[in-house]
């Protein structure tokens, strides 16, 4: 059996994705129901390069993926330039603006910075296929779902770490070239 085959047949997306069982939960944004202040607190409380956007916490259905940098720059710009945007403003990634309370501050709409078709695999996708797509599409990360619900994320670094671990166990295997 070729070492590559062993890798191909043994690892699945669920083995490589984060969070691991002991990790804090995946940091996600909801497409509505969060304020600008809440989003800033969540983003600034982590160092992740990006955040999945879901329909709601309950559904965990994926809307898209937003980069940390784009989010922080857009909020910053809106705070400076857009009339009435404050911490209490609703931050919306929705297609349409849901009815807002008349006495509240105007919402900040940021659907424009969301990648609405982020690459996803299911938890049972073999890693050789995932790695192949990362290479061919030059991906930095991909999302992992199960029955349409968001489960986790795999970054390029996660894959490299996983491969290094396998190579450690079996130094003769040639996994990445």
Closest separation between CB of residue 27 and ligand ADP, Å?
A: 4
Comparison of 47 and 96: residue with beta carbon closer to ligand ADP: 47
Comparison of 7 and 51: residue with beta carbon closer to ligand ADP: 51
Closest separation between CB of residue 87 and ligand ADP, Å?
A: 21
- Give the chain's radius of gyration (CA, Å): 19
Round to whole Å and give the CA distance between 56 and 71.
Answer: 19
Round to whole Å and give the CA distance between 39 and 25.
Answer: 16
User: Could you count the other beta carbons within 10 Å of the beta carbon of residue 69?
Assistant: 11
Closest separation between CB of residue 122 and ligand ADP, Å?
A: 17
In the complex, the residues that contact ligand ADP under the rule CB under 6 A are 18-19, 26-27, 47-51, 153, 155, 157-158
Comparison of 108 and 153: residue with beta carbon closer to ligand ADP: 153
Single out the residue of 173, 138, 134 nearest to residue 16, CA to CA. 134
């Amino acid at each position: 059996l070729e070492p590559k085959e062993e890798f191909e047949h043994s690892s699945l997306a669920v083995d490589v994705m984060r969070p691991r069982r002991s990790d804090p939960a995946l940091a996600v944004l909801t497409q509505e129901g969060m304020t600008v202040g809440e989003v800033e607190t969540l983003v600034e409380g982590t160092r992740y390069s990006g955040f999945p956007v879901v329909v709601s916490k309950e559904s965990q259905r994926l809307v898209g993926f937003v980069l940390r940098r784009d989010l922080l720059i857009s909020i910053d710009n809106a705070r400076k330039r857009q009339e009435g945007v404050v911490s209490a403003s609703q931050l919306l990634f929705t297609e349409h603006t849901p009815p807002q309370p008349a006495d509240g501050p105007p919402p900040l709409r940021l659907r424009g910075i969301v990648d609405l078709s982020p690459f996803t695999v299911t938890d049972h996708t073999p890693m050789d296929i995932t790695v192949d797509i990362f290479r061919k599409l030059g991906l930095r990360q991909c999302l992992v779902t199960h029955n349409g619900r968001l489960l986790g994320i795999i970054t390029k670094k996660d894959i490299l770490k996983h491969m290094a671990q396998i190579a450690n166990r079996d130094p003769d295997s040639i996994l990445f070239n």
